[in-house]
Amino acid sequence: MRRLRCTVLAVLAVALCSTPVAIAQGPHEHRGVVAAPLHKVAGLSGGDLWGEVWVQDLSHPGTFSGSCIPLGPKGKVLAPIPGPDFTASCSAKPGTPLFFAFGSECSDVEEPPFFGADEEAQRACAVAVDEFFVAASITVDNGKTVDMLSPRFELVSPQRTVELPADNVFGVPPQTATFVAHGWGALVRGLRPGEHTITVEVTTMDVEQPTATFTAFVNIVPGGHSRI
pLDDT in tens, 69-78: 777 776 677 7
pLDDT at 116: 98
- pTM recorded for the entire structure: 0.83
Nearest residue to 99 via CA among 187, 31, 181: 187
pLDDT at 71: 75
Upstream peptide bond of 113 is cis (omega within 30 degrees of 0)? yes
61, burial (CB in 10 Å: exposed 0-12, middle 13-18, buried 19+) = middle
Q: Are 17 and 36 spatial neighbours (Cβ–Cβ below 8 Å)? A: no
Q: How many helices (H) and strands (E) does the chain have?
A: 2, 13
Mean pLDDT of 181-191: 87
Q: Are 80 and 212 spatial neighbours (Cβ–Cβ below 8 Å)? A: no
**Predicted confidence (pLDDT) at residue 183 exceeds the cutoff of 80:** yes
Q: Are 24 and 187 spatial neighbours (Cβ–Cβ below 8 Å)? A: no
Distance, in Å, from the CA atom of 134 to the CA atom of 142, rounded to the nearest integer, reads 22
pLDDT in tens, 47-91: 998 999 999 999 999 888 888 777 777 667 777 788 999 999 988
Q: Are 47 and 41 spatial neighbours (Cβ–Cβ below 8 Å)? A: no
**Predicted confidence (pLDDT) at residue 206 exceeds the cutoff of 50:** yes
